[in-house]
Chains A and B, each alone.
Chain A
Amino acid sequence: MARILLVEDNEMNRDMLSRRLARKGFEVLLAVTGTEGIEMAKTHQPDLILMDMSLPEVDGWEASRLLRADQATRHIPIIALTAHAMSGDREKALQAGCADYDTKPVEFARLVTKIEALLNE
């Protein structure tokens, strides 16, 4: 069973997304801040990370860069989630080392397609 780390500071988004992912059969790990996300990625070695970009403390952009720079976590694909699609966000996310990118509100079916595509690689 694939293990997904969801890094998201908004409680309802976190709850909603994690429950729906769980229903789809994923094992979901939760982190609230960027720092916590990095920590959990190292210790729990998830198969994939869903990273909100506007996080307190270390934001999603920085956290992704750090994860990519670390030998222990660089192999884990990251899907960046941004609150609104600013032009250039996609490029920014790819530059930060994210494998893919999606916008919130999450269109669940589309997100699942992206997750599965990455997991099957």
Chain B
Amino acid sequence: MTPISLDVILISLRLSGLLSLGVAYSAWRRRPAAGSTEFALLMSAAAYWSLTYAAGLNTSGMENKLILNQVTYIAIAYIPVLWLFFSLRYTGTAKLSRKQMLLLLLMPTLTTIIIWTNNTHQFFWSNISLQTEGVITSVANTRETWFWIHTTYSYICLITGAYFLLRSLGAGNSSLYRGQAIALAIGVFAPWIANATYIFELFPIRLLDPTPFGFTLTGLAISWAIYRFRLLDILPAARDAVLASMTDGVIVLDARNRIVEINPSAEKFLRDGDSSLRQLIGADASLVLSQWPHVVERFQDVTHAYATAIPFQVGNRTRYVDVRISPIRDAAGKITGRVLVTSDVTSQKLTADLQKAKETAEASSLAKSAFLASMSHELRTPLNHIIGYSELLQEEVEANRHQDLYRDDLQKIHHSGKHLLDIITQILELARLEARMVALNKETFPLSDLVEDVITQIQPLLEKNNSRLGLKLPDDELQIHADLAKTRQIIYNVLHNAVRFTEQGRVDVEVGAQGGMAFIRVQDSGPGIPPERLATIFEAFANPESASRKKTEGLGLGLATAQQFARLMNGEIGVVSKVGRGSTFTIQLPLGVKPKE
């Protein structure tokens, strides 16, 4: 074997140093990525090792060689710890505190000091001399205690670092990352092998330490992994955490449609759909998805897709899923697999559907009310004519004072017309309320006066039914800020209702205030309201006059209208009733005067 010239060795070492520097520089530029700074420092140290080692080999004379040997050893002492730092940081295993880092750096610092003071104590080396073998002249020595302490410590650091790196690779557990795994394995083991061959004197070129080459190889392999797979773009631990915590499902398929990666969200979805599924990694995707043939058929060979709200029958309900498919390409651009990202949009879809239904219902309800409002108006006009002309005829009949018979009949027509008009007026009022065509015209007024006024209005009916009315007003005048006409209508409707159903009884009206609300309580000794009717007492059309309440004509819209009006003014009407005992209606309206403008 032709001996290799010193020049070749020196050039190789310098080249190795420059390569390491280059790797260090490119890692330094990516400092924001976790582990980059540590990696840059590691590779700087490796470059330093190569270059100072070359300088040491190139120099002559015992003194120079010894000093350069000590200079080189600074890198040798620190590199294992830097390697450990890189591994811990990059894999996200641990974020070391400043104190912990200084503690770990204590050993190499001690080693450096011991080497530089070796002359006085010879803890590291003894019997130092120069030896030459072939083209290499190097420092020879006997290794003493601290050398082995240093070596043990270095290996512990290297092994620990390697362990975490390899473990993070293992966690990926995917053929997609094979290239990356190989590169990292080379990165991990190259310096070890090189160093071991040196320590155990197995390297072909005697006296040459090949470890710097090993570290350069580490740098190249790891940075290749970085550039090729963008390893430093995202912490693998963080990437796994992201994948695991994503509510979206992620499935990676290889070229043969086998699952090579699946996140918990996707896995749960698949298992909800088919609890008999076993191992998913490595399984054929079309088999795993066989319960949804429409999906398999649609996406079998699709490499680019975005489909929304695909229905999936899961158990006994349908879930809607957005599916996005993107290709995975190798360096040559050939498609080697696919990534499926799925997001469950069931609730959004259901909400949207509900919203749509609600809007439709509201629109049709508004349309209905608007129709009713205009329809009622159309009905009223001819009815007004019927009433008006019958009144006119009555007047004429009365003027002539002859045809009494006509007069009775005319009165009947007139009465029916008026009744029909009342009904239509009430419907119109409600319809306008529901069609939101009613505006409030608020003013501040004393409540007691209004109540007394309405009672005067109701007096004839009270007398007709032979009932008595008791009134209790507050000592202080109660002012409320509301629509006067509508408040009057509310009180009238409630009071009219009470008096109408109370024959030879009592109706007690009390006006007062409680908790910021004015109240008007109307208590009657009437027949009371059965529970099944009480529930719908304020609903329009829900209370047709029943046969048992043969009472006077009425459509049962009065209370519904009153309640609608009360609510429009932030008030409420409540009712308590017991059959045979009577009913108590309580109108509540906000107290207060007109707000200052």
A residues whose Cβ falls under 8 Å from a Cβ of B: 10, 12-13, 16-17, 19-20, 23, 83-84, 86-88, 91, 104-106, 108
Chain B hits for A87, CB < 8 A: 438-441, 483, 485-486
| A16–B438 CB distance below 8 A | no
**Is A16 in contact with B388, judged by CB distance below 8 angstroms?**
yes
Given contacts A16-B389, A20-B395, A87-B485, contact A105 B439 (CB under 8 A): no
Q: B97-105, B376-384, B445-453, B455-463: which one contacts chain A?
A: B376-384
Is B332 in the interface zone, CB < 8 Å from A?
no
Contact check, A105 vs B380: say whether CB atoms are below 8 A apart: yes
Asked if B171 is at the interface of the complex by the 8 Å CB criterion, the answer is no
How far in angstroms is the closest Cβ of chain B from A66? 26
Give the total number of A-B pairs whose CB atoms are below 8 A apart.
47
Given contacts A84-B428, A91-B441, contact A106 B377 (CB under 8 A): no
Residues in B with CB closer than 8 Å to A108 are 388, 391
In the complex, the chain A residue whose C-beta lies closest to that of B440 is: A87
The answer to the question of B294 belonging to the interface, with a C-beta cut-off of 8 Å to chain A, is no
Secondary structure of the B contact surface, majority rule: helix
- Bound state CA distance, A84 and B438, in angstroms? 12
Q: Is B110 an interface residue (CB 8 A)?
A: no
User: Which residue of the partner chain A has the closest CB to B381?
Assistant: A10
Q: Which residues of A have CB within 8 Å of B391?
A: 20, 108
7 contacts between A and B (CB under 8 A): A20-B395, A84-B380, A84-B428, A88-B439, A91-B441, A106-B388, A108-B391
Q: Is the CB of B385 within 8 A of A23?
A: no
Determine how close the nearest CB of chain A comes to the CB of B444; give it in whole angstroms: 16
Q: Is the CB of A23 within 8 A of B395?
A: yes
Residues of B376-434 contacting chain A, CB below 8 A:
377, 380-381, 383-385, 387-389, 391-392, 395-396, 399, 421, 428
Q: How far is the CA of A19 from the CA of B389 in the complex (A)?
A: 10
Least distance between B437 CB and chain A CB atoms (Å) = 8
Q: Report the minimal beta-carbon distance from B435 to chain A, rounded to whole angstroms.
A: 12
Given contacts A16-B385, A105-B380, A105-B387, 4 further A-B contacts (CB under 8 A): A10-B381, A12-B388, A105-B384, A108-B391
Residues of chain B with a CB closer than 8 A to A19's CB: 392
Residues from chain B with a CB closer than 8 A to the CB of A20 are: 388, 391-392, 395
Closest Cβ of chain A to B358, distance in Å, is 29
From A10, A13, A84, A106, residue with most partner B Cβ within 10 Å: A84
Give Cα A17–Cα B389 distance, bound, in whole angstroms: 9
Residues of A within 8 A of B396 (CB): 23
Within 8 A of A (CB), among B489-520: none
Q: How many residues of B contact A (CB 8 A)?
A: 24
State A104–B440 Cα separation when bound (angstroms): 21
Cα–Cα, bound, A17→B388 (Å)? 8
Q: Which of A16, A19, A91, A105 has the most CB of B within 10 A?
A: A105
A83 to B515 Cα, complex, angstroms: 40
Contact residues in A for B438 (Cβ distance below 8 Å): 87
Q: Which 4 A-B pairs have the closest CB atoms?
A: A105-B384, A16-B388, A87-B441, A12-B385
Q: Which of A10, A12, A87, A108 has the most CB of B within 10 A?
A: A87
Q: Which residues of B contact A12 (CB under 8 A)?
A: 385, 388-389
Query: Known contacts A84-B377, A87-B438; is A13 also within 8 Å of B392 by CB?
Result: no
State the Cβ distance, B395 to closest chain A Cβ, in Å.
6
A10 to B388, CA, bound (A): 13
CA distance A88 to B441 in the complex (A): 7
B385 vs chain A, min Cβ distance (A): 5
Q: Which residues of A contact B437 (CB under 8 A)?
A: 86
Complex Cα spacing A104 to B381, Å: 9
Give bound CA distance, A91 to B483, whole Å: 13
Is the Cβ of A105 less than 8 Å from the Cβ of B388?
Answer: yes
Kindly provide the distance from the CB of B414 to the nearest chain A CB, expressed in whole angstroms. 12
Flag if B440 contacts A16 (CB, 8 Å).
no
> When chains A and B are docked, how far (Å) is the Cα of A71 from the Cα of B397?
44
- The residue on B at minimum CB distance from A11 is B385
Q: Which of A10, A17, A86, A105 contacts B421 (CB 8 A)?
A: A105
How far is the CB of A81 from the nearest CB of chain B, in Å?
12
In Å, the complex CA distance between A51 and B58 comes to 120
Residue of B nearest to A109 (CB): B391
- In the assembled complex, the CB of B404 is this many whole angstroms from the nearest CB of chain A, namely 19
Bound together, the chains give a CA A106 to CA B441 distance in angstroms of 23
Q: Name the residue of chain A whose CB is nearest to the CB of B384.
A: A105
Contact B421 A23 (CB under 8 A): no
User: How far is it, in angstroms, between the C-alpha of A105 and the C-alpha of B420 when the chains are bound?
Assistant: 13
Distance in Å: Cβ of A105 to nearest Cβ of chain B: 4
Residues of A within 8 A of B384 (CB): 13, 104-106
Closest to B428 in A: A84
Nearest B residue (CB) for A17: B388
> Of all chain B residues, which has the CB nearest A105?
B384
Contacts of B388 in A (CB 8 A): 12-13, 16-17, 20, 105-106, 108
Nearest B-chain residue to A16, judged by Cβ: B388
A13 touching B385, Cβ below 8 Å = yes
Please give the distance in Å from B412's CB to the nearest CB on chain A: 18
Q: Which residues of A have CB within 8 Å of B399?
A: 23
Q: Which residues of A contact B385 (CB under 8 A)?
A: 12-13, 16
Task: Return chain B residues, CB-CB under 8 Å to A16.
Answer: 385, 388-389, 392
Q: Interface code B362-386, partner A: CB below 8 Å = 1, 0 otherwise?
A: 0000000000000001001101110
CA distance A12 to B377 in the complex (A): 16
| Bound Cα distance A87, B399 (Å) | 38
Q: Which residues of B contact A105 (CB under 8 A)?
A: 380, 383-384, 387-388, 421
A16 to B384, CA, bound (A): 10
**CB-nearest residue of chain B to A12:** B385
> How far does the alpha carbon of A23 sit from the alpha carbon of B428 in the complex, in Å?
32
A83 to B383, CA, bound (A): 13
Bound-complex Cα distance A70 to B383 (A): 37
**Which residues of the partner chain A approach B483 to less than 8 Å between Cβ atoms?**
87
Cβ–Cβ < 8 Å partners of B377 in chain A: 83-84
A88→B438 CA distance, assembly (Å): 10
Residue interface bits B471-486, CB-to-A below 8 A is 1, else 0: 0000000000001011
Interface members, chain B 87-137 (any A CB < 8 Å): none
Question: Chain B residues with Cβ under 8 A from A83's Cβ?
Answer: 377
User: Nearest chain A CB to B133's CB is how many angstroms away?
Assistant: 113
Chain A residue numbers with a CB within 8 Å of B392 are: 16, 19-20
